[in-house]
Structure 1
Amino acid sequence: MKEESDIRNISANAEAHLPYTKGKFKISKHINLSGEFAYSTTKNAEGTAYMAQAEVNFNKFNGNLAYMKASPQFAGYFTNTNTFSGYLQYRLTKKISVLANYMQDAKNFQRDTLFLAAPYRKYLQYGIQYKYLSNGSIIINHGFQKYQDRLEPKQFDYYERFFRVSIDQRIGIFQVNLEGQFGNTDNYLTGFNGHSSLYAANLSFEKFKTSFSLFGSYAITSRYQLQNQKQLYYGARVFSKFSDKTSLSLFYQNNYIPEEYFKDRNLFELLFHQQLFPGNELDLSGRYSLQRGQLGDKDFIFSMRYTWRPNIPVQRTAEYVSLSGNVGNLGIKKTEGIRLMLGNYLSVTDKDGNYIFKNVLPGNYFLEIDRSTTAINDIPTVGFPATMSLLNKENIFNFGLTAAANVQGKVQLSEAEKKDQTDIDALQTKKGKNKRESIIIEAISNDQTYRKVCFIGEDFDFTYLRPGDWTIKLYRNGLDKRYKILNDKFQFTLQPSEIKKLNIQIVKQQIEIKYQQESLKVGYNVIKNKK
């Protein structure tokens, strides 16, 4: 099957990864308008996408608006997308201004699987700014925000109405920012309503060619699993430029809010930069960071980079390369019509599963599969997105599609244990009214690792697993010490479409009581015969 595109005035859009028709109009020196339009035609469907932007700047009024929409059938990076953002400010007097900003995140678009899906957010705030001094101002805002986790199980889902007061003041060499926020939260994840408050402070100054920034916040919120949950965040940033050739930066932050799990987050970073001589630079860095999707596990990364800029005038003509291959059918319905993406390039497999990318610029790419063009249970035999280093004239990459396997099971108390204690709830009530006994179940293969927190007495499952060798490990996760996991490791080989059943037994550890007895002295008497 061949895919065709009817697009006029094609140019590259690095931000949206869409082929488009682009226009820009300047109404006056104060107003700028721009727009982008794309139209795609495939054998089965037609799709459209467009983006419009406007920017205005006057003496008393300025702002910007952006809107993007893509139809469900559009053959691009953004699919079934509808997003809008804007900012407006109007100066009533020299000291008083009114302002507002709105944002609605891109919803339901096809995200690159290299990144986790960012939470859906809808945000509106409006308020007034009063500049009481030339170096001091206060802003009073009112608005609402809605956060919804896109991953399962959800970590948050709430709607919050808030009132915020911010003070920004410069005192000598110090720049001080104070903020307080108060709101009411509707928690859709747990079903309760509560209050949320936030207090934040930021202090920054510069001395001895070094800039310092200290920040901290304390919050009591009802946004997550617990009502009136307390959160404390603090940190610091220091940047010192010893000379034009030498600099040192230091950053630390104790933790991050749960809504930011979709990106990498530095907890600690130390960076040293040194220019050895013109064109030669050395960078040393070390950092503790939370990777995407991680909440508690920290990774330490040390890097050393040497940069040499020879400054030799050369001219290089890029030669195009190609990537081709075959998608093997390993027991699925079809391998025809599968859409593959290589950066901004697109290819569709033919009836035999063959594909080809022509006229590709040399470089490093990620090869991806559009999951909407495969069956819901089809899974590749290798990990995707696949890293491609395309330097040769012709490159070949073959892989197969097979049916995914599943693991299902239940965590339960053994039958023998139930004779001694009939219900685990009797134990749970001792630990706390809202606490439940649970364990962590980890599924590991060569290139896939999944973890779940499972409660005793409930079912669990791992879906969309690649067939092959798997290991299931069990961890206590704070399980009461009187209980133990009967078998904490399982190893097996999953076949395509197989549903593996596991039964995890939790038993009560037997306590053996021994009684110590006093020793008993045994003796005898000898009777002598009288003569």
Structure 2
Amino acid sequence: MLNKFFSIFFFVLLGMHSLNAQQTEIIAIESLKDDVHLQPEEIFNQTYFIANNGEAEKDLAISLQVPDEWKVIQKIQQISLKPSAKKLVIFSIQVPSGFPVGEHPIDLYAIEKGSDDTLSVRRNVLKVNEIESVSLHFVKAPEIIVAGEQLEATYLLQNNGNTSKKVYIDTYNCDVKGSAEIQVEPGQSVPFTVYNLTSEELLEPREINYTVRALLSGEIAESVFRSFKVFPSKTTRKDLFFRYPVTASATYLASNRNEKYEKAWQFELQGEGALDPEGNHHLEFLARGPNNTNLSFLGLYDQYYIGYSNKNLEFFVGERAYSFTPLTESSRFGMGAENKIIFNNGLFFGFLWVKPRYYEKIESEIAGYTGYKINDDNEFRGYYISKKMEDSPESVQLASISAALKPFESVSFDLEYSKGISPENSDDAFRANVNSHFSIFSLSGNYFYTGKNYPGYYSNSTFYSGNLSANLTDKLSLGVYTKEDFRNAALDTFFVTAPYSKSFQTFLNYNVATRAHLKFYLREYERKDRLVQDKFHYRTRSLNTRFSHRFRKINYSLLGEFGETTNLLQGDGENRQETYRASANFAYQFNPSHSVRAFGSWSNVNSFITGEQRNLTAGLSVTSQIGKNFNANFYLQNAYNIDDYFRNRNLMQLNLDYTFLRKHTLSLRSFYTLFRQQTENPDFTFSLNYAFNLGVPLKQIIRAGDLKGRITYENGEPAEGVILNLRNKTTITDENGEFWFRTIQPGRALLSINRDKMKINEITNIPLPIEVDIIEDEIISLNFKITEGAKLTGSFEVQKSSISVLKNEEVETGNIIVELKNDFEEYRITTNNDGRFSFPIVRPGEWTFKIYTTSIPGGYEIEKSVYQLDFQPGEKMELPIKLKSKKRNIIFKSTDSTLTPLTPGKETSPSAKNESDHQLREKKESRFYSVQIAAFSRKVPDDSGYFEEEQFDFVKQIDNFHKYFKGKFNSVEEAEKERKRLEKFFRNPFIVIIENNKVVPWDGNE
């Protein structure tokens, strides 16, 4: 029994040892990085430890298997591991840019050499990060179109990332054909088109800019800016006169105010502008009547005035709002006069008188003032004012001194001190304004103080406002703002004084994205009615937030407020209530011509009465350009807050404007309005206005004539779309091939054609540019054609003689001067090294082809040096020219003399001497002298004024310069003679030696 137990125990131990041996791998692989994120296109190093847990040395091939398209540097590595040894293995991995985002496995194999057995495998899962990358490429678009046509531009949107993306195409001054949202897969390119419909009413050439942007996740990924030029489809003559602008109008006014229909007519004549082209003299006037303020929602009271100004004088008389100083008389409407004299050194004096129209407490005011203007930023002023009051026989006296100063580039001040003396007492007033920017801080402040008995525009008032902000980063800014409004402004118009208000707030602004902004602010504000019987007086403390965002064609803002409001018109204990408000504003731009805006707010406030007060306000506005000259605007709102009583509140408004015949305008205005000081019972009013804009001619400033014409093709078809330039004007031919330059200054001008719309082999039948004479008040006509040009090419070939063939002569046919000319044009070129020549495209007709015989290689001649050619449209002519050896006549003379050799037994061979002379002559003929007369970095045209008096013979391009030469001479004496003659026409001509087609300056030695 005991033996049986030990036997079982032995086999159990043996089994456990075998199991443990199976669990322990002979080759172990350990990864040092398990949670790996790969960035496409970046190289990542994946690191492993390979350990030998066996008792024998192992030779291994370490192989890394990765997904297709991944790149691995040294994919298989060879290592040897001794028992219990460990080695580091590194693989460099690169993921391509468009590889899909997500988790992807990689496997490392340890393979034993010889047996090819896989001893160990290690799998890792690598995560490929998302790449957002799109590119926008311009493909094609016309650069020139005619007014009334539609521009169409093609673009290519490419996804360079590794995830599918929806890209929104945002445009300026154009629209996308089809959907503006485009789905683009990784590596995919999607074409799309934008368009812009131009107006037929364009009367002058105009360059129009347009921009296409690709928005990815609300951010601008790429933007492409382009422009195109629009030429008018109609021709108009430019006004030759300098005119003074005047507008005459008539308005029909109607209203059902107080349930009573009233109507009236009102007429107006108004002008404002310069009296001379230089703008030195300026005139303005207005005559409007009769008075209709009783029914006019526009406040169109009768008004008459005239004013004149120049550099040194300002004169005005009539009705308007006259301004003295902010403390003494900020604005006082009435009948008055003002004169101001300005000296060139900056000193000025002025006089002002006004009789108020809407403020009965003041009978009249008179003031004298002076000042000194140092520059646009620094000025001093002094005023003395006398007021005649209605209820006092004695006048009120006011004195003021003020200064506008800018001591530093980022700091400015505006200061004023005033003293007021009334019959009973006197008092002071002071105001100050400061603006400053330094470092990350911005500071602005405004402060008014007027004493209790100060008899100015304000009295017994303290007003201040201040703002301090700091831009901590490009995205984050914070600050504080405080304000208190005027208490008893003595306004003299029929506008009711705005409510008294006081506020204090701290704010934080954060730019969430390029087009998204977030604002938080703590606010405490107080508003109080200024009417005799208060309708409201409340104070609110609240936390506010505002978010604004432009997304594609939508622009919206959201506002939220939560706090507590105290109604100060009610007793304590019942006058506090929570306040909350929410408002939204959404605007959508369909295209540049049509847009819509919707807005609304909902609030629960305690501003006017006790208890809960909810208020819902909603509205809609639409703006549309229905036609070329027809604009419409519609506005609708259900209600207004009661504390907006001081202004008219339109619950409904419709505006229509139509312009016709360029100078005439019809306008309809209709309103459903709560008038000032009212809180209910709105009234309907409307007006119909006709206005005529006329210009009174004062001086003819342009003396001009016209140039018109027609361009056709050789077959008589009109040449449409050809661009012509005349001085600084550009035009384009219409469908009939006609063009018209209007209002051109008299004199000689050059007409040229832009060849962009012409084929490469097309040419006009008359030379360009065309010189035309513009005559004042006349129309010059010019018609011409576009035809196919002709082409002349040719070559010089040596006619081999029996002697030249025997001697195997090589004749250089380069630099032979040839010329093609007619009565108007001339082309002169030289042959290439192989003797070929090619002229540019020329006009069909009769031409003269000439060969300069002085440039023909020595010992050769041609049968004919002048050819008369008649080219047909589109003809390509090849002209081969034969070079023939010159004939030599040898004369033998007899003699009775006998030649004896100088040295007995030796004879001098005559043939040897002749052979030597022949070689010398051949050497001289391969080199010649010429005179260099010019060198330019660019090739000049053949009709250049530089060669007007003396033409060049041939040109060579050497060292990036085009060098021009005159003549081919066998001796330096001939060249020197020519050089002296050319000194009359060119500066510093010099002699060169041309040998084997190379130019060498002559140094004065043979």
**TM-score range for the pair, normalised by the shorter chain length:** 0.5 to 0.7
2:588 matched residue in structure 1: 205
- Aligned CA distance change for structure 1 residues 255 and 2 (closer, same or farther; 3 Å): closer
**For the residues of structure 2 that align with 1:289 and 1:58, how far apart are their CA atoms?**
47
Find the aligned partners of 2:609 and 2:563 in 1 and give their Cα distance: 17
Q: Are 1:232 and 2:232 counterparts?
A: no
Return the alpha-carbon distance in structure 1 between the equivalents of residues 569 and 508 of structure 2.
33
**Which of 535, 540, 552 is 1:172 aligned to?**
552
- Alignment gaps of 5+ in structure 1: 316-531
Aligned equivalent of 2:642 = 258
> 2:369 touches 2:383 (CA, 8 Å); kept in 1?
no
Give the C-alpha shift of residue 12 in structure 1.
11
- Whether the aligned pair in 2 keeps the contact of 1:7 and 1:39 (CA below 8 Å) is no
How far the C-alpha of 1:152 sits from its partner, in A, is 3.9
The match for 1:52 among 432, 446, 449 is 432
How far apart, in 2, do the equivalents of 1:7 and 1:129 lie? 45
- The aligned residue for residue 356 of structure 1 is none
Q: CA deviation at 1:138?
A: 1.4
Q: Is the 8 A contact 1:5 1:39 kept in 2?
A: no
Distance in 2 (CA, whole Å) between partners of 1:54 and 1:241 is 43
Residue of structure 2 in register with 1:120 after alignment? 500
2:607 to 223, 226, 237: 223
Q: What SS class does the counterpart of residue 309 from structure 1 fall into? A: strand
- Corresponding residue of 1:327: none
1:314/1:295 CA distance change after superposition, 3 Å: farther
Q: Which residue of 2 aligns with 1:365?
A: none
The percent of aligned pairs where both chains have the same amino acid is 25
Q: What SS class does the counterpart of residue 289 from structure 1 fall into? A: strand
Relative to structure 1, the CA distance from residue 12 to residue 265 in structure 2 (aligned partners, 3 Å threshold; closer, same or farther) is farther
Match of 1:304 among 674, 688, 699: 688
**Secondary structure, counterpart of 1:259 in structure 2:** helix
Quick check: 1:28 aligned with 2:400? no
- Corresponding residue number in structure 1 for 2:483: 103
Q: CA deviation at 1:174?
A: 0.7
Q: What's the CA shift for 1:60? A: 2.6
CA shift, 1:237, in A, is 1.8
- Tell me which amino acid in the other structure corresponds to 2:587: S
Instruction: Find the counterpart in structure 2 of residue 503 from structure 1.
Output: none
**Aligned equivalents of 1:4, 1:45: Cα separation in 2:** 20
Residue in 2 that maps onto 1:272 = 656
Judging changes above 3 Å, is the alpha-carbon distance between structure 1 residues 3 and 110 closer, same or farther for their aligned structure 2 residues? closer
In the TM superposition, residue 6 of structure 1 has moved relative to its aligned partner by 8.7
Match of 2:236 in 1: none
Say if 2:535 is the partner of 1:155. yes
Q: 1:246 to 1:101 in 2, by over 3 A?
A: farther
Check whether the contact 2:489–2:497 (CA below 8 A) recurs between aligned residues: no
Matched, 1:246 2:626: no
Deviations 1:55-112 (A, max 9, x none): 2234632242112222333333322222112233211111111032222110133343
CA–CA distance in structure 2, aligned partners of residues 107 and 244 of structure 1:
49
Task: State the 1:10 CA deviation.
Answer: 4.5
Larger radius of gyration: 2
Distance 1:108 1:32 in 2: 28
The Cα of 1:33 is off from its aligned counterpart by 1.4
Q: Which runs of 5+ in 2 are unaligned?
A: 1-362, 371-380, 386-397, 700-1006
C-alpha distance in 2 between matches for 1:43 and 1:314: 53
For residue 426 of structure 2, what is the amino acid of its counterpart?
E
User: If the length of structure 1 is used for normalisation, what is the TM-score?
Assistant: 0.54
CA distance in 1, matches of 2:510, 2:540: 25
| Residues 488-503 of structure 1 mapped to structure 2, 5 A cutoff | none
Map 1:242-391 to 2 at 5 A. Answer: 242=626, 245-312=629-696
Secondary structure of the corresponding residue to residue 78 of structure 1 = coil
State the alpha-carbon separation in 2 of the partners of residues 290 and 3 from structure 1. Answer: 35
CA deviation after TM superposition for structure 1 residue 49, in Å: 3.1
Aligned-residue offset at 1:314: 7.1
Q: Could you tell me how far apart the structure 1 residues matched to 2:476 and 2:411 are?
A: 24
Shift of 1:134: 1.4
Distance 2:634 2:364 in 1: 53
Q: 1:137 aligns with which of 512, 517, 526?
A: 517
Q: Which residue of 2 aligns with 1:62?
A: 442
Encode CA deviations 1:355-377: one digit per residue, 9 max, x unaligned.
xxxxxxxxxxxxxxxxxxxxxxx
Could you tell me whether the CA contact under 8 Å between 1:120 and 1:150 is conserved in 2?
yes
Give the TM-score normalised by structure 2. Answer: 0.29
Provide the rounded CA distance (Å) in 2 between the counterparts of 1:281 and 1:3: 40
Mark the CA change 1:56 to 1:307 in structure 2 (over 3 Å): closer, same or farther: farther
Query: Are positions 1:181 and 2:561 aligned together?
Result: yes
2:469 corresponds to: 89
* Cα distance in 2 between the residues matched to 1:24 and 1:237: 42
Q: Residue 94 of structure 1 aligns to which amino acid in structure 2?
A: D
Q: Secondary structure at the match of 2:643?
A: helix
* Secondary structure of 1:312's aligned partner: strand
The answer as to whether partners of 1:6 and 1:39 remain within 8 angstroms in 2 is no
* Distance of 1:46 and 1:244 partners within structure 2: 62
Task: Give yes or no for contact 1:283–1:304 (8 Å, CA) kept in 2.
Answer: yes
Distance 1:113 1:283 in 2: 27
Contact 2:605 2:614 in 1 (8 A): yes
Structure 2 equivalent of residue 526 of structure 1: none
Which amino acid counterpart does residue 102 of structure 1 have in structure 2? Answer: T
8 Å CA contact retained: 1:198, 1:218: yes
**Alignment partner of 1:107: what SS?**
coil
Describe the shift of the 1:283–1:37 C-alpha distance in structure 2 as closer, same or farther (beyond 3 A).
farther
Describe the shift of the 1:153–1:135 C-alpha distance in structure 2 as closer, same or farther (beyond 3 A): same
Secondary structure of 1:311 counterpart: strand
Residue 213 of structure 1, CA deviation: 1.5
| Cα contact 1:2–1:43 (8 A) shared by 2 | no
Contact 1:221 1:227 in 2 (8 A): no
Q: Kindly report the root-mean-square deviation, in angstroms, between the aligned alpha carbons of the 2 structures.
A: 2.9
| Closer/same/farther in 2, CA of residues 211 and 103 from structure 1, 3 Å limit | farther
How far the C-alpha of 1:277 sits from its partner, in A, is 3.0
**Does structure 1 residue 37 correspond to structure 2 residue 420?**
no
User: Letter of the aligned partner of 1:82 in structure 2?
Assistant: T
CA–CA separation in structure 1 for the residues paired with 2:431 and 2:628? 43
- CA distance in structure 2 between the aligned counterparts of 1:193 and 1:131, rounded to whole angstroms: 36
Q: Deviations over 1:412-466 (max 9, x none)?
A: xxxxxxxxxxxxxxxxxxxxxxxxxxxxxxxxxxxxxxxxxxxxxxxxxxxxxxx
